[in-house]
A and B are shown apart, each in its own frame.
Chain A
Amino acid sequence: MAAAPIKLSELAVGASATVLQYPQQDAAFLRLREMGLLVGTRVTLVRTAPLGDPLELKVRGYHLTLRKSDAAHILVEPAP
């Protein structure tokens, strides 16, 4: 049973999800995809920075940070 899609920025700390959708035709997100965060890739929200932003994500075994405002454009399906 698939969970309802949420924004990547809404993922709970410690939770994992699968990327569902990127903004259409948005070249800005190309680098993120080139770094391996593709539709279908599993991502874990490791923690947020002390002030709540940016997010620390774990993708394909490494850690990267993304601002909440940017993560809000990416739809994910939370893992059960």
Chain B
Amino acid sequence: MALPPHIAAPPAASPAARAPVYALVGNPNCGKSTLFNALTGLKQKVGNYPGVTVEKKVGTTYSQHGQPITVIDLPGTYSLAARSPDEAVTRDVLLGRRSDTAQPDRVLCIVDAANLERNLYLVHQILDLGRPVIVVLNMMDLAVQAGLNIRVARLEKELGIPVIACEAVNGKGLVELRLAMSRPDLPLARHAWGVPAPIAPAVSELAASLVENDLKLPLIARAEALLLLTDQDSVRVSGSVPLSARTTEILQGWQKRWAAEGTDWAGILVNSRYEAIGNLATEVVLHAGTVGPTASDKIDAVVTHPVWGWLVLGVVMTLLFVSIFTLAQAPMDWIGTHTAMLADWVKGHMPAGDLRDLITDGAIGGVGSIVTFLPQIMILFFFIGLLESTGYMARAAFIMDRLMSRVGLNGKSFIPLLSSYACAIPGIMATRTIEDAKDRLVTILVAPLMSCSARLPVYLLMIAALLPNDRVSLVAKVGIMLLMYTLGTAGAFGFAWLFKRTLLKGAPPLMIMELPPYRLPGVRDVLLQMLERAGIFLRRAGTVILGISIVLWFLAAYPKAPAGATPTQQLAQSFAGRAGHALEPAIKPLGFDWQIGIGLISSFAAREVFVSTMGVVFNAESSEENTAPLRDALKAARWPDGRVLFTPLVCLSLMIFYVFAMQCMSTIAVVRRETNSWRWPLFQTLYMTGTAWVFSFVVYQTGRALGF
């Protein structure tokens, strides 16, 4: 049989010595990462595609003869007509449009056997590329449970390419897959799909122009042309080469003509593909009669029930939340004591001096503050991994979507925001599950407003100073605490609402979310993802945090006070102390003096540092368990003219400041990494700290006017 011209020429002959590079593609929820992990194990490298915040995963597997084979795991997508940056990367890598990634030689297309028709849509588009393709029919067990009998040999014959039945979760079919991947010669698909008549002339014209004006290979020019017709973001993604003026002109000319005629060109293309798939499916899939409700249906009847659904969500979220709070505490304490021990050990083994202080207070302290986040990050991502791989994550988003839509977000922002009550860092890292770039950015911008656990010590100290009587009712203390949490939450949702209406206008065109069948979690995948997140945090955010820690240490340690000075005197005349003085005019309207200013500056490292800084400033030994000495010292503090410094109103003003202010360099570092620029973390710092100033100002000045 003669091959159609667009695939007649084999892809540029790769030297026999070089093993082919595979791209792994597939729909979301079809077991793609499980297969990638099963193939490559720990031989994975995770990075970023330059210019976009899309993860680049490359792994190595071995052929039957032990030769290494490179596999690029591309972001999951339902179609090559990209709607998000992730999907655009998949499209662009497959088409060889990205300068940072060579076009893969072969494509490994993973398909959910229980959901064949929708999955074959992507396969159908990929066959257009004219590259050798291997189809992996995953989750054959689920297909059987759903009463489907898939004739694998028939599908292989119809497509003319290897089709491997597989259960990636338990490794079934992997040997056969490896065998197919090792084949030096892979046939091209018997894929002779004719473009529907109204569209065909446009496709030929575009393809010719792509070859002539954009220097595309004739082999992929037709696939390119077809995708240009359905693209919704052909210019948006950075990192790919823009289209030539001539091709753009032709494209817009056809689109204008069709629009005038009322031709629904994109729809015609989709229908035509599904027609071809439908014909294939009737040949290949045998329905073994009707089956009753599946296990998934039965679980969903409870999990998304109007009453039980909330209960299940409440229990799951409480578990998640409590475990981040409690399970992380022991390892965090361990890390705290051991970094302190390490610092002491270095102190004991090095001559006193600036270098020693730099190592113990700057470097070790900085590394300690990075590592401290690891337990929370790992626990959160372990849970998120469980929720995702079981399928519950999509249900939580389904239940919460209505509420989140009130502020213009969707259900997927719920878990990142909830996690931010424990710590904004894992919360912000968890926003990667939000596909829509604007929704994701808004979620990142407001997440640090949720009162995190680092604010607790500050709140506790201020409440102690505010209500000095030990016998004051617990209700009042809890009430103030709740007020602070409510204020932060209201701020987060209020700003989300505001940003979605102004700065980042526009909802995604459609909120479509798949509810995949429930599955047992793949523990290996969950653990791998958890380690991967931890590694990314250490490498990308860790360096920035270390740098800022050293700068902050320097500001507090220099210039040196004369020998014999107390730590209080040293801090007072350091750069940080002078900065506190310089800051006083700006914070005096909030009721703060320069000494509180030092606290604000130093707690930029982490909010809880405020407490220990106040201890140094007011020369009071205090610990988290026992704030009494520091509380008394604060009570005794006075302005130079003798007025009480920490009046109840100032305590309140200070708490409100901490509710809103972006007092956390680690969050800034993570936002920098997740948004790929300094623009957003800077904007975030300004808007949050600005809001903090305004709220504290209003509260303090109103309080003063009312005579407090």
Contact = CB atoms under 8 A, between A and B. Distances in A.
Contact of A50 (B81, B304, B514, B516): B304
A31 B509 CA distance: 9
Which among B83, B146, B307 has the greatest number of chain A C-beta atoms within 10 A? B83
Contacts of B514: 62-65
A34 B79 contact: yes
Interface string B220-235: 0000000000101000
A28 to B, nearest CB: 3
A34 to B, nearest CB: 4
B101 interface: no
Contacts of B399: 49-51
Interface in B397-424: 398-399, 401-403, 405
Nearest to A55: B398
A66 to B, nearest CB: 6
Contacts of A38: 270-271, 274
A28 B514 CA distance: 17
A30 B81 contact: yes
A65 B78 CA distance: 15
Interface string A17-48: 00000101101111111111011000000110
B270 A34 contact: yes
Contact of B398 (A30, A36, A54, A70): A54
Interface residues of B, number: 42
Given A56-B304, A67-B511, A30 B115 contact: no
B267 A33 contact: yes
Contacts of B266: 27, 30
Contact of B515 (A24, A30, A65): A65
A28 B510 contact: yes
A25 to B, nearest CB: 6
Nearest to A56: B515
B401 A32 contact: no
A67 B115 contact: no
B233 to A, nearest CB: 11
B81 A52 contact: no
B118 interface: yes
Contacts of A60: 115, 117-118
Interface residues of A, number: 33
B79 A31 contact: yes
Contact of A52 (B262, B305, B402): B402
Which among A24, A31, A35, A46 has the greatest number of chain B C-beta atoms within 10 A? A31
A30 B230 contact: yes
A14 interface: no
B270 A33 contact: yes
B114 interface: yes
Contacts of A49: 304, 398-399, 401-402
Interface string B505-545: 00001111111100000000000000000000000000000
Contacts of B402: 49, 51-54
Nearest to B115: A62
Contacts of A34: 78-79, 81, 121, 270
Contacts of A64: 512-515
A61 interface: yes
A50 B397 CA distance: 12
B632 interface: no
Nearest to A64: B514
Contact of B304 (A31, A32, A47, A52): A47
B310 interface: yes
B259 interface: yes
A74 to B, nearest CB: 11
A32 B267 CA distance: 11
B511 A31 contact: no
A64 B510 CA distance: 12
A60 B509 CA distance: 22
Contacts of A29: 509-510
A70 B508 CA distance: 11
A53 to B, nearest CB: 5
9 contacts: A24-B264, A31-B83, A31-B510, A36-B121, A49-B402, A61-B115, A62-B516, A67-B511, A70-B510
Interface of B: 78-79, 81, 83, 114-115, 117-118, 121, 146, 230, 232, 259, 262, 264, 266-267, 270-271, 274, 300, 304-307, 309-310, 394, 398-399, 401-403, 405, 509-516
Cβ-closest 9 pairs across A and B: A28-B509, A51-B402, A63-B515, A34-B79, A50-B306, A36-B118, A65-B513, A33-B270, A50-B309
Given A30-B266, A31-B509, A34-B81, 12 more contacts: A29-B509, A31-B81, A33-B270, A35-B79, A35-B121, A47-B304, A49-B401, A54-B398, A56-B398, A63-B514, A65-B513, A70-B510
